[in-house]
Amino acid sequence: MAEEKDEVLETQSADGAEIRDTDIVFDCPHCSKTLVIDYRGAGLQISCSECGKDVLVPIPDGMELTDLDMDPGEILKQLFATRRNYQKAETRVQGLKARLVSLQETLAVMQQVIAEGLADE
């Protein structure tokens, strides 16, 4: 008797994010990277996190896009939350850019000291 193995979806994606039962897991048709998105992304066009090409999120069997319809109040709440998250991300990016400039300046000074030290030998 042949033993059948059930394919079990891992509970974490490659980047460590938890995969929920309601997530859509699919492969990029361009680079074959496994992508995971919340079920509310069904039918949307996204960019692959690996190759950057546009990918259409599949709609799971038995699901209708009307299943995702929300009342306007819920959509507005999500819009405001998205804007807040975007602003936080922009602030973080600005901080990281400033840190990068500081590190580049420090590196330039260190390279100059090393070059001067080698020239003195």
Measured in whole angstroms, how far is the alpha carbon of residue 78 from the centre of its chain? 18
Q: Looking at residue 34, what is its pLDDT?
A: 92
Length of the chain: 121
Question: Hey, how many other C-beta atoms are within 10 angstroms of the C-beta on 46?
Answer: 14
Q: Cα separation of 115 and 119, whole Å?
A: 6
Helices (H), 1-121: 72-120
Tell me, yes or no, if the pTM score tops 0.85: no
Tracing tokens 């069904």 back to the chain, one arrives at 42
Q: What is the pLDDT of residues 54-89, one digit of tens each?
A: 999 998 888 776 766 767 887 788 889 989 999 999
Q: Give the whole-angstrom CA distance, residue 109 versus residue 116.
A: 11
Query: Tens of pLDDT along 4-40?
Result: 333 333 444 555 668 888 889 999 999 999 999 988 8
